[in-house]
């Protein structure tokens, strides 16, 4: 009996190791976005490895018209009403807050998205700060939409206000 377990335990360790290694060769990821308590924002954000960075495309509804801070936060834990459990902006290099094209920025600083008069926002960007594997991988972390515009300056939050929607970034099937 004991001897049987000797084989099973290493096998389990190996299996779990593969399961949690976040996307060693991941090239596509997706986050289904859900509203924070009392909010109505929902949709989907997709990530894809591309030339020159990571292509981020989004399709969201239920926003107020105008600009909204759009970030990757450190933890993929959306299990709290105010989404503070997702931590601060994903910042593996210990940098200050900035806009997506600034040399000094958090990896997770994706700037703003803009909603139209109907509260819809759809678009794409290629970002150089995030990846889907390695130290800057966003897989397993959270994409967050804020109530207000990110001023791209104020450290560490961009003064973007409440967190109104979130999605956990997961590995997507490659085609």
Largest distance between two CA atoms of the chain: 67
Among 142, 144, 145, 165, binds Cu ion (CB under 5 A): 144
Of the candidates 136, 83, 134, 129, which has an alpha carbon nearest to the alpha carbon of residue 109? 129
Q: How far is the CB of 160 from Cu ion (least distance, A)?
A: 6
The site that binds Cu ion (CB under 5 A) totals a number of residues, namely 2
CB of 16 to Cu ion, least distance (A): 31
Among 30, 36, 54, 71, binds Cu ion (CB under 5 A): 71
Strands, E assignment, the chain: 28-35, 42-50, 53-61, 66-73, 109-115, 121-127, 142-146, 163-171
Cα distances from 163 to residues 26, 64, 132, 166, in angstroms, run 27, 13, 23, 8
Is residue 67 a contact residue for Cu ion (CB under 5 A)? no
Active site residue 135: no
30/165 with CB nearer Cu ion: 165
x/- letters, 77..96, toward Cu ion (CB under 5 A): --------------------
Task: With beta carbons less than 8 A apart as the criterion, state whether 101 and 125 touch.
Answer: no
163 labelled catalytic: yes
**Cis peptide leading into residue 52 (ω within 30°):** no
Active site residues: 71, 73, 89, 97, 106, 109, 146, 163
Interacting residue ranges for Cu ion, rule: CB under 5 A: 71, 144
């Amino acid at each position: 009996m004991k001897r049987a377990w000797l084989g099973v335990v290493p096998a389990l360790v190996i299996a779990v190791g593969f399961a949690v290694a976040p996307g060693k060769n991941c090239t596509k990821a997706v986050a289904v976005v859900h509203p924070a308590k009392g909010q109505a924002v929902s949709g989907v954000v997709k990530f894809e490895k591309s030339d020159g960075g990571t292509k981020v495309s989004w399709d969201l509804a239920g926003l107020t018209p105008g600009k909204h801070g759009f970030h990757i936060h450190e933890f993929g834990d959306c299990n709290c009403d105010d989404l503070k459990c997702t931590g601060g902006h994903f910042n593996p290099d210990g940098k200050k807050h900035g806009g997506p094209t600034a040399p000094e920025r958090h990896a997770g600083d994706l700037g703003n998205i803009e909603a139209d008069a109907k509260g819809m926002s759809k678009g794409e960007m290629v970002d150089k700060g995030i990846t889907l594997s390695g130290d800057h991988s966003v897989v397993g972390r959270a994409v967050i939409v804020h109530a207000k515009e990110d001023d791209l300056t104020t450290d560490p939050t961009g003064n973007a206000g409440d967190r109104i929607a979130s999605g956990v970034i997961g590995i997507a099937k490659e085609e």
